[in-house]
Chain A
Amino acid sequence: MNRFSIADCSSVDAALSQLKDGAVVKAGGVDLLDRMKDGIEQPTRLVNIRNISGLRGIRETEQGLTIGPLTTLAEISDHPLIQSQYQILADASGHAATPHIRNMATVGGNLLQRVQCWYYRSSDFQCIRKGKDLCFAFDGLNQYHAIMEYATCPSVAPSSAAVALLGLNASVELSSAKRGKRNLGIRDLYVVPDANPTKFTVIEPDELLTAIVIPKPAPGTRSAYQKYGEKESFDWAIADAGVVLEMDGDVCRRAVITMGAASPVVRRSPQAEAALTGKSINEETARAAGKVAVEGAQPLSGNAYKLDLFPVAVYRTILLAAGQRDRDPSAAG
Chain B
Amino acid sequence: MPDPKGSHPQAPDEQPEPSTLPDSARSGITRRGFLKGAGLTAAGTALLDGVQAFSSETAAPATNGVTELGPGPVPVRLHVNGAEHTVEIEPRTTLAEALRINLGMTGTKVVCDRGVCSGCTVWLDKMPVNSCMTLAIDAVGHHVTTIEGLSSEDRMHPLQAAFVKHDAMQCGFCTPGMVMSCAALLERNPHPSEHDIRHAVSGNLCRCGTYPKIFAATMDVAGTTRNA
Contact = CB atoms under 8 A, between A and B. Distances in A.
B22 interface: no
A50 interface: yes
A232 B202 CA distance: 8
Contacts of B118: 98, 100
A104 B66 contact: no
A99 B71 CA distance: 31
B130 A2 contact: no
B133 A8 contact: no
Given A3-B70, A99-B200, A104-B130, A34 B181 contact: no
A39 B6 CA distance: 9
A36 B135 CA distance: 12
Interface string A15-57: 0011000000010011001101111001010101011000000
B199 to A, nearest CB: 7
Contacts of A37: 5, 8, 113-114
Please classify how large the interface on chain B is, using the bins under 10, 10 to 19, 20 to 34, 35 or more.
Answer: 35 or more
Contacts of A50: 138
A10 B62 contact: yes
A39 B202 contact: no
Given A17-B66, A100-B181, A4 B200 contact: no
B66 A9 contact: yes
A233 to B, nearest CB: 4
Interface in B1-35: 2-5, 7-8
Interface string B114-131: 111010010010011110
A103 B202 CA distance: 13
A13 B64 CA distance: 9
A11 B65 contact: yes
Contacts of A103: 124, 127-129
A234 interface: yes
Nearest to A3: B71
Contacts of A11: 65
A97 B118 CA distance: 11
21 contacts: A1-B3, A1-B8, A4-B91, A8-B66, A8-B137, A14-B64, A14-B65, A14-B66, A30-B115, A33-B135, A37-B113, A97-B203, A98-B118, A98-B203, A99-B181, A99-B203, A100-B115, A101-B133, A101-B203, A232-B202, A233-B203
